[in-house]
Amino acid sequence: MKDLREYITKVKELGEVREIEGAHWNLEIGIAACLAAKHPSPPALLFDKIEGYPPGYRVFAIPYNNDKRIALTLGMPLEASKLELVRVIRDRLKEPFKPLPPRVVSSGPVLQNVLSGRDIDLYKFPVPHYLPLDGGRYIGTGDTVIVRDPDEGWVNVATQRVQVHDKTTATIFSEPGKHLDIIRRKYWAKGQNCPIAVTCGSHPIFLCAGGMGMPWGRAELDWLGWWRREPVEVITGPVTGLPIPADAEIALEGEMVPPEVETRLEGPFSEWTGHYSPARPEPALRIKSILHRNDPIILAQLPFLGRGGTNHHLSHVMKAARVWNHLDTIVPGVKGTWTYSELGSTINVVISLEQKYGGHAKQAAMAALGLMSYLTKFIIVVDEDIDPSNLRHVLWAIALRSEPEEWEAIKGTWSGYLDPRISPRNREEGELTHSTSIILACKPYSWIKDFPPAVEEYPDLERKVKEKWGNLLP
């Protein structure tokens, strides 16, 4: 699947799209998405004939919030279970990374409409105002923000929220320490505006690359080429010179000015933490060009879709796979990893481990924290007989195999403005740290052989009983 339209076609073939006509951009799209997300396996939603906009100007929401569509996005087996999906991705990530740079083409669908000067109007599109306390309309939730490092020349691609303020002005929320924040400050230190391109609708795998947190200097477009085994086709942005995916639905080009030149109040926004992140001044992004396809589609991946519910992000399985892959290079015996939306989205990691020596479980936890420190608050280690993707099993292990007084808190780990537990004073002072709890919910290694055996499931006996009385059993 080359682009968002082919992806939508495939999802329709799977019977996983609900088409809604006549919704209003103000709140109705966001509330409808939240209602759909209450289902354990929510469908994708395609909004058309949005009030005040021409037919064909659409919003595609909840693109991959179940296991099947995550597998579809990544090109993995559709029937894979959660843990199998993580295992397949882990194995793929173990293949040697060989950058496959994008292929520059002279034209593409994104150039079907090129707007500049007085024609620039961000309200040309049905930009949603998702939830009541959001600070405004957000064109970027399922987006990619593209920027080039002025010193090293590599291109960073990230998924970050983009708020519309007027026809020609937007803002981008960027946490301190994130690559965009580092790169834009380089431009400002040179007395320059920061050139930026934003795509607001591409194949959802771009969100995967944009949210992974690549190592510094690794270009996400090169990684996408490697993952898909073919280069990403890009056009050269007519204003910024940045590489823009040729089949993107909408692309915005502009310059982010230094904060002392102009800021706009960005937020609040209903973030993945399940809380509204506070409003704060962000540097203005002045839009110089808009490119878009005929009948453009905004891709909406709402961060928050239900308290502790089914906000099943691609980032969950990718984080789990990356942690598993990382641990395999450091510690033996890892049997699986997972992260839970029910435990605050990706702020947690669960590791299933076959303990082989004293301190093994804690070593695994510390190694995971070293890889994934940003906003990771809980690292839970369980035994190999626990399925880390089964929350009921994990909670059982925490209750009956851990000792609360032995839980440890690692202080001063990397947090950010999205953390609702950062106090107003610390936000103002830029003190963005929290603690990470390590919960060893596994048998104590020193007497592991004497630990009471667990009551297991017995597949062979269960099968025999089902053969006899299956018609009477639930």
Q: Are 286 and 257 in contact (CB under 8 A)?
A: yes
Q: What is the pLDDT of residue 473?
A: 83
In which residue are the tokens 């403005």 written? 417
Do 259 and 161 have their domain in common? yes
Which candidate, 180, 186, 183, places its Cα nearest to that of 162? Answer: 180
What's the token pair of residue 272? 């993945």
Distances (CA, A) of 438 to 14, 362, 379, 408: 40, 8, 5, 5
* Longest CA span, the chain: 79
Helices (H), 18-106: 28-36, 67-74, 82-94
Choose one of 293, 326, 351: the last residue of a domain: 293
Residue 11 has pLDDT above 50, yes or no: yes
The pLDDT > 90 percentage for the chain reads 73
Does any domain span residue 341?
yes
Do 120 and 259 have their domain in common? yes
Choose one of 232, 258, 293: the last residue of a domain: 293
Q: What is the mean pLDDT of the chain?
A: 92
Q: What is the pLDDT of residue 38?
A: 80
Q: What is the CATH number of the domain that holds 154?
A: 2.30.110.10
Do 190 and 332 have their domain in common? no
Residue 303 has pLDDT above 80, yes or no: no
Residue 70 to residue 28: CA distance in whole angstroms: 25
Residue 368 to residue 326: CA distance in whole angstroms: 8
Choose one of 293, 327, 343: the last residue of a domain: 293
Q: Are 221 and 123 in contact (CB under 8 A)?
A: no
Does any domain span residue 14?
no
Residue 193 to residue 259: CA distance in whole angstroms: 10
Residue 8 has pLDDT above 60, yes or no: yes
Does any domain span residue 237?
yes
What's the token pair of residue 2? 């080359």
Do 388 and 289 have their domain in common? no
Domain count, the chain: 2
Residues contacting 331, CB < 8 A, separation 6+: 353, 360, 363, 364, 367
Do 124 and 218 have their domain in common? yes
Range of the domain at 330: 314-445
Q: What is the pLDDT of residues 39-64, one digit of tens each?
A: 878 899 999 999 999 999 999 999 98
pLDDT band at 309 (very low <50, low <70, confident <90, very high): very low
Residue 409 has pLDDT above 50, yes or no: yes
Q: What is the pLDDT of residue 108?
A: 96
Q: What is the pLDDT of residues 333-384, one digit of tens each?
A: 999 999 987 777 778 999 999 999 999 999 999 999 988 888 899 999 999 9
Q: What is the pLDDT of residue 312?
A: 54
Q: What is the pLDDT of residues 145-193, one digit of tens each?
A: 999 999 999 999 999 999 999 999 999 999 888 999 999 999 999 999 9
Residue 231 to residue 234: CA distance in whole angstroms: 9
In which residue are the tokens 């929290």 written? 434
Q: Are 123 and 262 in contact (CB under 8 A)?
A: no
Residue 195 to residue 167: CA distance in whole angstroms: 18
Does any domain span residue 361?
yes
Q: What is the pLDDT of residue 82?
A: 86
Does any domain span residue 19?
no
Do 351 and 408 have their domain in common? yes
Q: DSSP assignment of 238-299, as one string?
A: TTT--EEETT-SEEEEEEEPPTTT-EEEE--EE-TTSSEEPPEEEE-EEEEEEEE-SS-EEE
Give the angle subtended at the CA of 199 by the CAs of 211 and 49, to the nearest 5°: 110
Better pLDDT: 300 or 303? 300
Q: What is the mean pLDDT of residues 308-312?
A: 50
Q: What is the 3-state secondary structure (H, E, C) of 158-176?
A: ECCCEEEEECCEEEECCCC
Residue 377 to residue 418: CA distance in whole angstroms: 13
Q: DSSP assignment of 221-243, as one string?
A: HHHHHHHHTSPPEEEE-TTT--E
